[in-house]
Chains A and B, each alone.
Chain A
Amino acid sequence: MKPSLETLRSALLASLFFGIFIFIWYALTVPRSGDRAIFELSEEEVAQLDELGMAMEDRLYYLESGLDFEQLWQLAEMQFTREEIEMAGGIEAFGFQRQENGEAEVRSHFPTPGQVFSVGWEMIRDPFYDNGPNDKGIGLQLAYSLRRVALGFGLAVLVAIPLGFIMGMSRLFSEALMPFVQILKPISPLAWMPLALYTIKDAEQSSIFVIFICSVWPLLINTMFGVATVRKDWLAIGRTLELGRFQMAGQIILPAAAPTVFTGMKISIGISWLVIVAAEMLIGGTGMGYFVWNEWNGLNIDSMIVAIFVIGVVGYVLDWIIGFGQKAVRYVD
């Protein structure tokens, strides 16, 4: 398809929208003189505070209040809860002064577009570095997530397409199995996770299972529907030509149902990608979900935003890949 005036116009409009979005973002986040400073903590600093028993919410609250690591550490050492500190008259009563703007690590509440872009550029320039469990490149994290999705989704395809075929061909099977499908389909991935972790024990396999169990249903239902609604006329052609069982399935039913099956695949891969990010936040360790959670823990809002954006782009790419298959099997009736 060559770019027409239409596509050019929509591209221009899209750029305009993007420009407006960036401008509003910038206008809302540009640092002002009265802003409180928020300090950035490194992984080790967070680990030290954790060791002293400071809760994450407290840590974020004090950082928001403009304290630096030194002061947080002192607070943690004192072993007071936040209520106790509040009752004693707040952090000022303990002699802590808010740091003023102007130091190197200081940043405003929410990163500006420029900050996010430069952090994003850094992350994308070196995506595969590996400095231990809590510091891996975004490319590596992405690879972990994609691997899980590929396995879970692949398993779903292997199960759903043959089973959907059987259910589509046989009223008996579809009516017998539909109640189970209807009940299992609306269960949230977060509800499956604990059960999976308990029974499977292994976190990696649990996340793959959860992807499987959540993405199998749309694919199953679409395959079944596609097979069950193959036009009677086309089946009649096969019957008059005395096609065998397998020829009938492969030459008539499969090509006729393929577009519907691919629509199911699109829905399924989308669900897989949603599920994996949520699952990785729960199980931790590796992957995009864990990465987002980890950046949030360290209050690295800028790299968190980059990660969120990458999740969106990769989801789009996955959909686009399935779209290729969809285009290959599409027919106009």
Chain B
Amino acid sequence: MKTDKFVLVENLSKCFPQPKKQELVVFDKVSFGIQKGEFICCIGHSGCGKSTIMNVLAGLEKPTSGAAILDGREIAGPGLEKAVVFQNHSLLPWKTVLKNVMFAVGARHPDWSRGQIREHSQKYLDLVGLAHASDQKPHQLSGGMKQRVGIARAFALESPLLLMDEPFGALDALTRGTIQEELLKIWGQTKQTVFMITHDVDEAILLSDRIFLMTNGPRARVAEAVEVSIPRPRKRAEIVHHPDYYTIRNHLVDFLVSRSKELSGSRAGEVTGEDLPSDTPVFPPNVDPVKLARKVS
């Protein structure tokens, strides 16, 4: 198929059969395109099917119908051109931190010497602040550290498409900020195309070119793609002063609080505004997001 889009998703649907029940349609007829080098964040309520979409893009899951196309070719299976940060870290527990990264780098560059592989892997571990933990096994690490190893592994692959499933979920604000900056730096250099799932509205604004908003499942859709008009390079401390920041932010929060439910056509009473993920940052901090959203709309 001829297209100028690097990633093209058309009428993608995914159903899971359920025992003794009608099959679960996670998302239905989802379509979107991603330009080469674009940074996309995907936001939606828990269970709406974000991970499932990402798994289809990663080639780990087959769609029930529709097509996902990467660089002009249908995604038939997983591969090295798509680096994945899994939601649950997925490190090999019998390998040390360094060996976990080296394993991936070695698969990516079979022609490299062991020294080269080690050096490259070490560089990315330094980047996520884990140089000191290279020789530890995953079970000796905290949740956030494990997540950072997964991030280092995916970054080190330097694949054209980088898929990340809530990669910074388990990190404290400070580490998260540092790694977000590293990610922007790497992305600026490598011009990778990034598809990232997050629950953090501010993170999405800081990082993305566009933000995909998903309605609640079942039969979820990508309802909108919000352009983030704030110019780059962006700094965490500075973007909040940009005149568009709160317009965008309020729009996103409003979507999560009320419109994601309305648009999903889901049965009344199933999802309420209080279902807003508890880790969604609220700004100003003492304003209830539900009230905030109402004020804006």
Which residues of A does B touch, CB under 8 Å? 233-234, 236-237, 239-243, 247, 251-252, 255-256, 329, 331-333
Give residues 67-120 of B contacting A (CB, 8 Å).
Answer: 77-80, 82-84, 86, 88, 90, 92-94, 103-104, 107-108
Q: How far is the CB of B142 from chain A (nearest CB, A)?
A: 14
Determine if A240 and B80 form an interchain contact, defined as CB atoms under 8 angstroms apart: yes
Determine if A241 and B139 form an interchain contact, defined as CB atoms under 8 angstroms apart: no
Q: Which residues does chain A contribute within 8 Å of B79, judged by CB atoms?
A: 240, 242
Determine if A236 and B92 form an interchain contact, defined as CB atoms under 8 angstroms apart: no
Determine if B83 and A333 form an interchain contact, defined as CB atoms under 8 angstroms apart: no
- By beta carbon, the residue of chain A nearest B107 is A241
Cα-based distance from A234 to B95 in the complex (angstroms): 12
- By beta carbon, the residue of chain A nearest B89 is A233
Cα-based distance from A234 to B104 in the complex (angstroms): 12
Indicate whether A242 sits within 8 Å of B107 (C-beta atoms), given known contacts A331-B137, A332-B137, A332-B139.
Answer: yes
Q: Which residues does chain B contribute within 8 Å of A329, judged by CB atoms?
A: 94
Determine if B86 and A236 form an interchain contact, defined as CB atoms under 8 angstroms apart: yes
- Let me know if B131 is at the binding interface, CB within 8 A: no
- Let me know if B60 is at the binding interface, CB within 8 A: yes
- Let me know if B58 is at the binding interface, CB within 8 A: yes
Closest 9 CB pairs of A and B: A241-B107, A332-B139, A331-B94, A233-B90, A239-B78, A240-B78, A331-B93, A255-B94, A333-B93
Q: How far is the CB of A235 from chain B (nearest CB, A)?
A: 10
Indicate whether A240 sits within 8 Å of B92 (C-beta atoms), given known contacts A251-B103, A332-B137, A332-B139.
Answer: no
- By beta carbon, the residue of chain A nearest B95 is A255
Q: How far is the CB of A258 from chain B (nearest CB, A)?
A: 8
Chain A contact residues: over half helix, strand or loop, or mixed?
helix
Q: How far is the CB of B89 from chain A (nearest CB, A)?
A: 9
Cα-based distance from A291 to B68 in the complex (angstroms): 72
Cα-based distance from A332 to B86 in the complex (angstroms): 19
> Of A239, A240, A243, which contacts B83 at CB under 8 A?
A240
Determine if B78 and A242 form an interchain contact, defined as CB atoms under 8 angstroms apart: yes
Cα-based distance from A252 to B103 in the complex (angstroms): 11
Q: A240-B59, A240-B80, A331-B139 are in contact. List 14 more A-B contacts (CB 8 A).
A: A233-B88, A234-B92, A236-B90, A237-B92, A239-B77, A239-B78, A240-B58, A242-B78, A243-B107, A247-B107, A255-B92, A255-B94, A332-B93, A333-B93
Determine if A241 and B108 form an interchain contact, defined as CB atoms under 8 angstroms apart: yes
Q: Which residues does chain A contribute within 8 Å of B107, judged by CB atoms?
A: 241-243, 247
Can you identify 11 A-B contacts, CB atoms within 8 angstroms?
Answer: A237-B90, A240-B59, A240-B60, A240-B80, A240-B84, A241-B80, A241-B103, A241-B104, A241-B108, A242-B78, A242-B107
Q: Which residues does chain B contribute within 8 Å of A241, judged by CB atoms?
A: 80, 103-104, 107-108
Q: Which residues does chain B contribute within 8 Å of A256, judged by CB atoms?
A: 92, 94
Q: How far is the CB of B80 from chain A (nearest CB, A)?
A: 5
Q: Which residues does chain B contribute within 8 Å of A239, judged by CB atoms?
A: 59-60, 77-78
Q: Which residues does chain A contribute within 8 Å of B93, judged by CB atoms?
A: 331-333
Q: How far is the CB of B62 from chain A (nearest CB, A)?
A: 13
Cα-based distance from A329 to B94 in the complex (angstroms): 8
Cα-based distance from A233 to B89 in the complex (angstroms): 9
Determine if B94 and A242 form an interchain contact, defined as CB atoms under 8 angstroms apart: no
- By beta carbon, the residue of chain B nearest A329 is B94
Q: Which residues does chain A contribute within 8 Å of B78, judged by CB atoms?
A: 236, 239-240, 242
Q: How far is the CB of A148 from chain B (nearest CB, A)?
A: 34
In the complex, per-residue mask of B248-260: 1 if CB is within 8 Å of any chain A CB, else 0: 0000000000000
Q: How far is the CB of A227 from chain B (nearest CB, A)?
A: 15
Cα-based distance from A11 to B94 in the complex (angstroms): 33
Q: How far is the CB of B63 from chain A (nearest CB, A)?
A: 17
> Of B82, B88, B137, B139, which contacts A240 at CB under 8 A?
B82
Determine if B90 and A234 form an interchain contact, defined as CB atoms under 8 angstroms apart: yes
Q: How far is the CB of B233 from chain A (nearest CB, A)?
A: 30
Q: How far is the CB of B195 from chain A (nearest CB, A)?
A: 14
Q: How far is the CB of B19 from chain A (nearest CB, A)?
A: 19
> Of A234, A236, A242, which contacts B80 at CB under 8 A?
A242
- By beta carbon, the residue of chain A nearest B77 is A239
Cα-based distance from A140 to B139 in the complex (angstroms): 47
> Of B60, B77, B92, which contacts A252 at CB under 8 A?
B92
